[in-house]
Structure formats: C-alpha cells, structure tokens
Amino acid sequence: MPLTVEDRLEMITLVGRYNHAIDAREAEAWADTFTEDGRFFAPPRYDIRGREALIEFVNSPGTPTSQHWATNFVIEGDKDDATMLADLLFIRGDVASGRGKYINTMRRVDGEWKFALRHCF
C-alpha cells in the first residue's frame, strides 16, 4: 500500500516536533519522536540508542543548544515503513554553525510515524 498524503504530512510534522523539542531541550518530547528502540546517529560524535539514552542525551550538560531547520524532504516507502532524506541547517548562538543531511528510517507504531533511525551527516 503506497504512502498517503496524510502519511507524508504526518512525517513532516514529526520533523517539526523533533526540531522544536530538541531546541527547547524537552527530553521526553524529543524521545517521543523515536521508536522505543530508536537511534540517533551523527558520527563520529553521537550514537544514541533507546528511549532512556535519548532522554539522558538531551538532559546531559554537554549537549549543545541550537536551533534546527530541516527542508527539502524526499519521502519513499509503503504501508508502515519509509525513508526520508532531508537537508539540515542549525545555528548555535547567533551564527549559522552547521549544515548537513538526514537520512531517516521511519516506522509506523500504533498508528503514528516515528523515527527508527535518524542518521545525521
């Protein structure tokens, strides 16, 4: 079964919820965007797996604060599994400090789309 327009909108909204939560350092809301065994992978610095580790990452004093923007979504998949490619720009302080890409592996869990893997490079 192909992805619907509603699926695609929910996935894009998930990216927005992720960005707002990490930028506000709302650990549980950020972890809620992932599956229970979800993984945030941004080598070589970060490889975080599972809900508790995701929450701990956001709450740890060494986690940098920033503001994230993602755009240029390309979504492919069907039924309950999808991938999304997106561009990333983030700002720390007052200066654009980074850009990159996300390759997201997404899974529908209990009717909601979640990140199973968020690979940032």
Is the pLDDT at 120 greater than 70? The verdict is yes
Please tell me the predicted confidence (pLDDT) of residue 111.
Answer: 97
Distance CA 101, CA 27 (A): 22
d(CA 121, CA 119): 7
The one-letter code for the residue type at 53 is A
- The pLDDT value recorded for residue 95 is 65
Q: What CA–CA distance (Å, rounded) separates 104 from 21?
A: 17
End-to-end CA distance of the chain: 30
pLDDT band for 94, please (50, 70, 90 cuts).
low
Token code pair at residue 33 = 């965007």
Instruction: Say what the pLDDT of residue 104 is.
Output: 98
Provide the sign of the torsion angle of the four alpha carbons 16, 20, 22, 26, taken in this order: negative
Its pTM stands at 0.92
**Which of 37-46, 60-69, 77-86, 89-98 shows the lowest mean pLDDT across its residues?**
89-98
Which residues, listed in sequence order, are joined to residue 83 by a DSSP beta bridge? 76, 105
Domains of the chain and CATH, by start = 5-120 (3.10.450.50)
Q: What are phi and psi of 11, to 5 degrees?
A: -65, -40
> In terms of Cα–Cα distance, which of 23, 39, 12 is closest to 113?
12
Q: Is the pLDDT of residue 21 over 90?
A: yes
